[in-house]
Structure 1
């Protein structure tokens, strides 16, 4: 019978806590230390929350461990320290968020010279991110007192973990009034403009890429929050600046200043494509595109046209079809994506305008003809030469050409191109559009 046996095993961790001279590293060597911490073991938490222990934990995640040790073993204690500091236990959060000496030790990591150790940077980012979420007011107050905080984060933006710190400040601050206050502070520090400055041919590629990704994430996060939170009394100041004509013009000037590089052009276009996003895959909500973005891009269309003709030089590429002397390249591919997005914007606006006029003036055949020509020109460049024959009904228009009796074509006009496999489907689509407009008119 089970009650005859004592199946409980004495925890080695409890035995260590009974020792008067137990050390922090001894406890961290125990496999169940993190589990016991999350389970809020009172004796363990009292030990960890001592000033001396907390300082050691913070130093572990912000100080390069001694060299000459295997990489996995080198970062064993920093990794465990980060897990303990971010295990979301109230006692640890309170101690770390309310004690300024601990915050100072944590902040000192940003004051180190570049480049930062990527693994330590991820530990720092995770710890700060947890504090921003759990001890929001205390941490924001501390960071806002540091005049060089944003400069230090941007100095280390080539380390991707620094992006997470910025995005936490934008997305994880509650309640909404405090979020708006934080966004206003970041805007006053000119976060958007300073990120755009980093997308420049003179900057290294990693810095440009991370700055571009940060801007794209800020735009998407800001739009999502603006659509979800109706209680915000003012528009998002960061998003307002990013969508302004002046900010987009500055980005474009950076992209085309001096010798164009693929990194700068591609990263800049990624920001433009995000600004032009109407809807994201997997998201039902849609966004309105500010016309100032299109106005800023318009004068630079010639530059994009020139990039299609003369992209940054690329080395020949060996493909399965042989040697490709002039690869398409990422630059031309991104320019094509931008042009497609711009065409969609103007196409969408034009059709909406035409739709309104078309149904408002239902008896104006002069207008209907121009609408027909515009739609047909979009679908096929030479479609403007087509004319509707008044003697044909809708069914005759919809009939494929090869089904007409005696091989008669839809039009006897000599300029009509012969039917081929390439244009048959296209002709049928244009015919459908023309019939629809003809029937409506």
Structure 2
């Protein structure tokens, strides 16, 4: 055992630390210094917590390296210092977290002018974050004494590491009461309002992005904490401030009352989308209907947010018509002038979220502005923008699938015998004002015309198929089914006929092509004799699916043929070798001399079943090679060959199996497929290039007999294979003269 060897080697650091004048850089130059520190090497830890060493470690991560230092080692010591200080060793945490002079030196990094060195900022943030987690009381007390802490955090919010540090203060403080105190302190310092002020055109994109992301994370973290911590009496003050109407109004004022700025607009919309997030699964397409429980407080959007957004819907609508100026974009298929742009895409996402709230006053404002009509125009104009297409699909799916808003009054049909039809203004607007059905039909016809002329299929056709299916589905089973059917009946006679022909023809055919059916009504016989009957399945059968399954059956049957003949030949070969052992009359005779082998029908029977297949025909023909006969006639008794032979290992016989592929024509199809055909070469007999069906192939005269002749001698063996209710006979012809083995059905 290798355990008896002493593979443990003493670290060189221990020897190095015994020197009286050892320096910190010498220790950090050791390759295993980090491993030894994390393993809490006592000598190393005692050395690192020395006052001067701690000062040097903090200095490395807070001071810019000298420009004279070579670039590849410029940040070597700052990086190692950060790793040592964050190795989560108790003595280091205690020394750093309880020494105010060290904390002041660390804090001094924040007091530098912008922009901060992003790498050093990440080191600073990592060290302070682990101290917040390990020494929360001491660190919070220290930071609260610094009056400029929040100002400095907001000042450097464009540096991602500082944004991460701010979020760490909301997530890494474990004591619930201390966390609540931190939230109250940050709220008193107006951190939300200061972050909101960062999202305006006068600031750069980094500040827009990081301030927006900070606010979004505060919303999510606060809501998660509210659901996870049961019995928490105090609300989250930061979330409450964010959800105030005046806060949302200030956000919207930043982007609409000043010059248009793409980055600021997108960042504000991202914050609004986070505020609209609900505690239930969002729509993932067009199939799901709003789940029950939607009116529960945890599933609703704060009304103050909607009140702040509603007056600004006209400004968002105008952004769809006149987005911030974008340069012409060259793409692989043409020029985009103008491109969709991130602003308009974000506005469409915002409209989808507003529709999800299913608020009557918001719905009516969107109807009055005809925002849905503009969005549909964009859908059909930008045929390759799938980011836009999926959002439009979600919008239409929610309109079709959601019940009317609570403020909308149901309309009663005049006919007393009919059930009342609840009015949905959005659906009515979509079908009448936006001409939803007609635009789908026109776009489909236009696409088919272009494809017929050799053009490409339009990029929105997959989404258009799902939108059309959504209409059909919801007209039958959706909560607005009666209203949708009524609106379809109100179409002109020509449009109604086009829609009916489309749903029963083109749409149905497309759905068939998009459906993968892996079963048919045939019996499938596996090699384990298990039967699976799919006769009663409700799956639709068409020619393309039958072709695919017929190919599968052919593969199954071919595989079973290979199994059967390999077993047949192996059994026969092994029997011949064993018989030679039994009949050997002389010690001088070589029992392994190659001899001709003849197969008896009884030797072929194998308890295997094969899968069924459709018939196939058509093979290729090539001339066969003729070689010298290496075999001598074998006079062994056929009775001996018919005796039961035990299974023996394959090394006692030379059996080779080779495969080739040839085309065959299925009787149901004109296209060619590939079928694997087995060719067997026994005892070094080469495989013939002659295939079943060739005119040159010799027909089998009878099972299990030899065909005599002056030029050729054949050994023919047959096997009957069950194919459902039919039986097929397959044969293997071994021609000793031409040294070939031919497989025939």
Q: Could you tell me how far apart the structure 1 residues matched to 2:500 and 2:266 are?
A: 33
- Cα RMSD between the aligned structures? 3.5
What does residue range 308-323 of structure 1 map to in structure 2 within 5 Å?
A: 308-323=320-335
TM-score by length of 1: 0.83
Q: Which runs of 5+ in 1 are unaligned?
A: 387-396, 399-409, 430-441
- CA drift of 1:422 comes to 10
* Counterpart Cα distance in 2 of 1:341 and 1:420: 33
Superposed displacement of residue 382, structure 1: 6.2
1:304 pairs with 294, 316, 336, which one?
Answer: 316
Could you say which residue in structure 2 is the equivalent of 1:189? Answer: 189
Relative contact order, CA 8 A, sep 6+: which one is greater?
1
- The structure carrying a bigger helix percent of its residues is 1
Question: CA separation of 1:368/1:72 partners in 2, compared to 1, >3 Å: closer, same or farther?
Answer: farther
1:96 corresponds to which residue? 96
1:53 paired with 2:53, answer yes
CA distance in 2, matches of 1:333, 1:422: 33
Of residues 409, 417, 420, the one that matches 2:495 is 417
Number of paired residues?
404
Map 1:31-46 to 2 at 5 A: 31-46=31-46
In the alignment, is the contact (CA less than 8 A) between 2:37 and 2:45 conserved in 1? yes
Report if the CA contact (8 A) 1:121-1:161 is conserved. Answer: yes
Partner of 1:345: 357
Q: What is the deviation of 1:69? A: 3.1
Instruction: Name the CA distance, whole Å, in 1 between partners of 2:500 and 2:53.
Output: 75
Q: Which residue of 2 aligns with 1:335?
A: 347
Kept in 1, the 8 Å contact 2:110–2:152? The answer is yes
Structure 1 partner of 2:258: 258
Q: 1:48 to 1:367 in 2, by over 3 A?
A: farther
Q: Does 1:112 align with 2:112?
A: yes
Q: Displacement, 1:423?
A: 9.1
* Alignment check: 8 A CA contact 2:208 2:263 kept: yes
Rounded to whole Å, the distance in 1 between the matches of 2:417 and 2:184 is 53
2:370 equivalent to 1:292: no
Change (3 A) 1:257 1:414: closer
Once the two structures are TM-superposed, the CA of residue 42 in structure 1 deviates from its matched residue by 1.0
CA distance in 2, matches of 1:220, 1:32: 41
| Contact in 1 for aligned 2:408/2:424 (Cα 8 Å) | no
Q: Cα–Cα, structure 1 residues 118 and 238, in superposed 2: closer, same or farther, change >3 Å?
A: same
2:455 corresponds to 1:377: no
Structure 1 residues 247 and 77: alpha-carbon distance in aligned structure 2, compared to 1, 3 A threshold = same
For the residue of structure 2 that corresponds to 1:202, the secondary structure is coil
Structure 1 distance, partners of 2:490, 2:149, is 74
Shift of 1:377: 2.3
**Contact 1:354–1:371 (CA<8 Å) still a contact in 2?**
no
Residue range with higher mean Cα deviation, 89-98 or 373-382: 373-382
Cα contact 1:176–1:232 (8 A) shared by 2: no
2-side partners of 1:18 and 1:236: how far apart? 54
TM-score (norm 2): 0.50
For each residue in 1:322-351, what CA deviation from the matched residue of structure 2 results, as whole angstroms up to 9, or x when unmatched?
Answer: 122211111111111111111111269995
Partner of 1:243: 243
Instruction: Give the superposition deviation at 1:55.
Output: 0.7
Structure 1 or 2, whichever has the larger Rg, is: 2
Match of 1:394 in 2: none
- After superposition, the Cα gap between the structure-2 partners of 1:287 and 1:47, relative to the gap in structure 1 and judged at 3 Å, is farther
CA-CA distance at 1:7 after TM superposition: 3.6
